[in-house]
Amino acid sequence: MFFHIVLERNMQLHPRHFGPNLRDKLVAKLMKDVEGTCSGRHGFVVAITGVDNIGKGLIRDGTGFVTFPVKYQCVVFRPFKGEILEAVVTMVNKMGFFAEAGPVQIFVSNHLIPDDMEFQSGDMPNYTTSDGSVKIQKDSEVRLKIIGTRVDATEIFCIGTIKDDFLGVINDPGAAA
């Protein structure tokens, strides 16, 4: 799920950036530092949409770096248990398959794949129904449901299932090709 929230961060700026463009430099560094990172608490920071407030800088003893408290708005993405996501399959093996929904890695183990889908090994390992009408392989797009998340300080990992109503392949590039 996406959220638009306000976060705060203490930015350390090298003294060489001090000058007329200090603010721009600060924002650029904020984007570079924050976007694409993941915090266990808020999820993945997708984009910074604005800087609300930059507080008074504090000069560090010894280094000369200055610390600015910065309040900024950003869009974050945080997966939840029970959430339905659309994801792209990145890898298929006999244990199941891996997929990505943006920055989130999801593993679907083979017992959470419908029973009528069999694993086919080979050049392009895949799961296929007995009549061959549905196939899951690398780059397939699937809709899945998250049944569990593990949130570390810097990483979120999800377990998903496609063994439920309206889940499964939504677009098969192999079929189109």
Partner 1 sequence: MSVEPFNRLVKLAARAFYDDITMKGDNQPKTGRSDNRGMAVVILDALTRRQWVREEDLAKDLKLHSKQLRRTLRFFEEEKLVTRDHRRETAKGAKIFSAAVAATSDGQQTGKEGEEKQKMHTHSYCCLDYAQIYDVVRYRLHRMKKKLKDELEDRNTVQEYICPDCGRRYNAFDAMRLVSPNDEYFHCENCNAELVAESDKLAAEEMGDGDDNARRRKREKLRDMLQKMEVQLKPLMDQLARVKDLPVPEFGSLQAWEARANAAGRAANGDSGANDSSKSSQGQGYGGTPMPFLGETRVEVALSGVEVKEEDSKPDAASTSMKVLPPWMIKQGMNLTKEQRGEVKQEPKVDHNSTPSGLSDDKKSKVNDKEDEKDIQDAYIQAYYAAFIKRQQEQEAEKKKQQELENASNAPNDISSDRKVGMKSKRQEDERDDDVEWEEAPTTGTSETHKLNDLNVQADASGDDEDDIDWEEG
Of 58, 84, 91, 175, which one interacts with partner 1 (CB under 8 A)? Answer: 91
**C-beta of 72 vs 97, nearer to partner 1:** 97
Cβ proximity to partner 1: between 48 and 106 the closer is 106
Nearer to partner 1, 6 or 91 (CB): 91
157 interacts with partner 1 by CB under 8 A: yes
Candidates 10-18, 53-61, 101-109, 168-176: pick the segment binding partner 1 (CB under 8 A): 101-109
Dump the DSSP string for the chain.
-EEEEEEEEEEEE-GGG-STTHHHHHHHHHHHHHTT-EETTTEEEEEEEEEEEE---EEPTTT--EEEEEEEEEEEE---TT-EEEEEEEEEETTEEEEEETTEEEEEEGGGS-TTEEEE-SSS-EEEETTSS-EE-TT-EEEEEEEEEEE-SS-EEEEEE--STT-EEEE-HHHH-
Least Å distance, CB 25 to partner 1, is 37
Among 3, 94, 118, 171, binds partner 1 (CB under 8 A): 94
Residues found near partner 1 in the complex (CB under 8 A): 91-96, 98, 105, 107, 109-112, 121, 125, 147-148, 150, 157, 159, 161, 163-164
